[in-house]
Amino acid sequence: MADGNFKADHIRQSTGDKDVWLSPGSSMLPHREEYTEFLRAAENIKTKAPCKNSFRAIENTLLYAKTCDINGIVAIACLRHECFAPGSVADLYRGEQQKNVDWVLLQSLKYSNMDPEQGLLFFYDIACQYSVHFQRRIGHWLPVGLDTDFAIGQFHVHGHKEKCLFRFSSMFIPQSGVVIGEILESLWANLNAVTPAMRTATLAHRAEMLDNHICDSNHKKALNIVRMLCKRYVLAHKRAADAEDTRDEIAERVGAKNIVAWTDAVVEAESTRYIDLSVMDIYGMSASYEDHLAVPAEDEPLNGEYQWI
């Protein structure tokens, strides 16, 4: 997943040209010259948001950036292991632009040695907008044969239109597993304890501090991953049993014929969602309050009582 942190800003220093970079681009932050060159050459495609979401943090940060040469950072983290991806933490100069996210995503694919056959499920708070011209912007930079799907974290997706819930929530994406998609929020909480000390440091010293603290976070995740997996296995086993009980109860109420019809519709939608996301809109049913109270019998056809929107 990708996310920006606007608390990791930096106040412009008068002696910035005297910085001594000991190991630029060798850890979490990229080489500044390569990153700057990519931003200059990147195509800036203005995309109108498909939905009217209520996130204004990106625009608001520009109002308080007059004394800063860096507004914050953007990073990529693995949702499975909850670790920062190597080489995929970059500075933000004019808010959180698409080209900044493009860079860190490409860096994470490069340095994580990802097999294209695995496929990529990319979580981003505004994935509905980011994914529109994704292939046009960086499709030629992606590994050959890599299939990319997009999702929005469970916290942010409910601030979008209802259609975004069906199209981008991981609950409706096949083989995505049970993930919240907001791991960077908790990683930012730990990192923000040291961001005030980096605000007035030199750019070189700031980069070294970021590298050290982010690598330390990954190291702690690696040490505790066995205990975390054991704990989550027990929790997943319990929740799976509860979900099966709920499923059986619902299936008994709605009837076998409706279950078969809905299953066929869902399988067809999931098999074509990579071509046309609008097929996922079948998850949104419009029904009156009385329709919800009167559950159709097993042998009774739908007859328009439940209509797909």
Contact 265, 280 (CB under 8 A): no
Residue 161, pLDDT score: 87
CA dist., res. 9 & res. 64, Å (int): 10
Contact 78, 3 (CB under 8 A): no
Each domain of the chain, given as residue ranges in start order, spans 2-224, 255-308
Cα angle at 55 between 35 and 119, to 5 degrees? 55
Residue 305, pLDDT score: 42
Residue 58, pLDDT score: 52
How do beta strands 72-77 and 2-5 pair?
A: antiparallel
Q: Can you list the alpha helix ranges (DSSP code H) found in 170-306?
A: 183-191, 195-198, 203-254, 256-272, 289-293
CA dist., res. 309 & res. 189, Å (int): 40
**What residues have CB less than 8 Å from 128, skipping those under 6 apart?**
49, 50, 51, 150, 152, 160, 164, 167, 168
- The pair of three-digit structure tokens given for residue 130, joined into one six-digit string: 């980011």
Contact 186, 158 (CB under 8 A): no
CA dist., res. 103 & res. 268, Å (int): 35
DSSP H or E segment with residue 299: none
The owner of tokens 């702690």 is: 220
Residue 108, pLDDT score: 93
CB atoms < 10 A from the CB of 9, how many?
A: 21
Residue 59, pLDDT score: 54
Residue 62, pLDDT score: 53
Quick one: which of 94, 26, 15 has its CA closest to 59?
A: 94
CA dist., res. 106 & res. 86, Å (int): 11
- The pair of three-digit structure tokens given for residue 114, joined into one six-digit string: 């990802």
Contact 122, 147 (CB under 8 A): no
- The pair of three-digit structure tokens given for residue 86, joined into one six-digit string: 């190597």
Torsion region of 99: left, alpha or beta (phi above 0 gives left; psi -120 to 50 gives alpha): alpha
Residue 19, pLDDT score: 78
| Residues belonging to the chain | 309
- pLDDT tens for the chain, 309 residues long, are 999 999 999 998 877 667 788 877 778 988 888 999 999 998 777 776 667 665 555 555 555 567 888 999 999 999 888 899 998 999 998 888 899 999 999 999 998 888 899 899 999 999 998 999 999 999 999 999 899 999 999 999 988 888 899 999 999 998 888 888 899 999 999 999 999 999 989 888 999 999 999 999 999 999 999 998 899 899 999 999 999 999 888 888 888 888 888 889 899 998 888 888 989 988 886 544 334 434 445 444 444 444 433
CA dist., res. 226 & res. 102, Å (int): 32
